[in-house]
Structure 1
Amino acid sequence: MISNQFSNATDFLSFVSSLSPFENEVNVILRSKLYQKRYRKGELILESGTVCKRLYFVDSGLVKTFFYTDTREFIMRFFAEGNMFTVLDSFVLQQPSTYAVLALEDTTITCLHYDDLNMLCQRYHAMETFYRKLLSLAAVNMMDRIGSNLEEKAQIAYHKFLRDFGPLMQRISLADLASYLGITQVSLSRIRAMK
């Protein structure tokens, strides 16, 4: 569902300007390119195998990016209110995504289309700076996530998740948390039982 009237463009614009302040002209044109979509809990925002053509900002709700192997699901990230995200490789390269994005709650997202972002970057240095900084942050976050998975034991990863994303504990299932940590639910139960 797409809604043309919304107030959360301000949040998207605030996020953009926090990375790269821009003049009023950019603000007006960017605002005109934003649109809002609403998803019900359990609805796919992006299906694996399709090209990610949007930059997303979570106005309300919670989503996960994930992929399946033959035997299980792997969750890469959770994104709650105030977070901007995309499926980076698919968005940047405009190739089919190996990841899917799913709404874990009823979710409202402000979107910017890939073509509109490129046009804005070509016309305005501030938007190009924003995009460069966003890609840099995404790369740093991805490296941190991969490094954590490779070097941390499950118990350490669990406590790091509590420290960094504690408020999400009440909003995600234990199955999703176990998948995010790369462990079984049985292992997660053991870790949670240790105090």
Structure 2
Amino acid sequence: MIGNGFSGAADFLSFVSLLSLPESEAIALLNSKLYEKKYRKGELILETGQICKRIYFVDSGLVKTFFYTDTREFIMRFFSESSMFTVLDSFVLQQPSAYSVEALEDTTVTCLNHNDLELLCSRYHSIETFYRKLLSLAAVNMMDRIGSTLEEKAVIAYRKFLKEQGPLLQRISLADLASYLGITQVSLSRIRAMK
């Protein structure tokens, strides 16, 4: 049976199978290490300064990864259903995170601990392949995000957000959207008023 007694485990394992083809023994051990956590809207999944010890798969809900400067909040990414996420540098290096992760809605995630993933990688090449591909995808996504922030004007960034993640517009606050785009709410209001 695929799944660990909750639906998220089966979805997590399906996601793994998209990036690698683990043998049944690896799937069984991975499945035994998965567990479910629930977070309420507004609850922090990870606080700045904590070490990120898990990879998360969003079963339901929505989360944001962000950090603060002296004057404002910057949102790095949003993760909704069927997304896998972690705070990459903190997770890989097992060092305190410069970022926080917050549930923007009541959220259910399937989790895998860092130590369990390391054990699985040491035993199964297929799991190591999954992890390598996951890290590669995360790095590419982050490079794209940084490039977009540095290169695109706010109007282009807003249109790109609408095209790629438009359905999230009804689920996030305008303040969070402005923060994600790296602009003020006043600027966002002007952009939204343009036709």
The residue type equivalent to 1:183 in the other structure is I
Secondary structure in 2 matching 1:57 = strand
In the TM superposition, 1:1-195 aligns within 5 A as: 5-195=5-195
Paired positions, count: 192
Percent of aligned pairs with the same amino acid: 79
Deviations 1:10-59 (A, max 9, x none): 00000001000111111111000000000000000001100000000000
Q: Tell me, in whole angstroms, the C-alpha distance in 2 between the residues paired with 1:40 and 1:5.
A: 22
* CA-based RMSD: 0.8
Q: Tell me, in whole angstroms, the C-alpha distance in 1 between the residues paired with 2:130 and 2:5.
A: 25
The residue type equivalent to 1:140 in the other structure is V
Runs of 4 or more, structure 1, over 2 Å off, are none
Secondary structure in 2 matching 1:187 = helix
CA apart distance, 1:157: 0.2
Secondary structure in 1 matching 2:14 = helix
Secondary structure in 2 matching 1:48 = coil
Q: Tell me, in whole angstroms, the C-alpha distance in 2 between the residues paired with 1:164 and 1:173.
A: 17
The residue type equivalent to 1:88 in the other structure is L
CA apart distance, 1:114: 0.1
TM-score (norm. length: structure 2): 0.97
Secondary structure in 2 matching 1:157 = helix
The residue type equivalent to 2:180 in the other structure is Y
TM-score (norm. length: structure 1): 0.97
Secondary structure in 2 matching 1:22 = coil
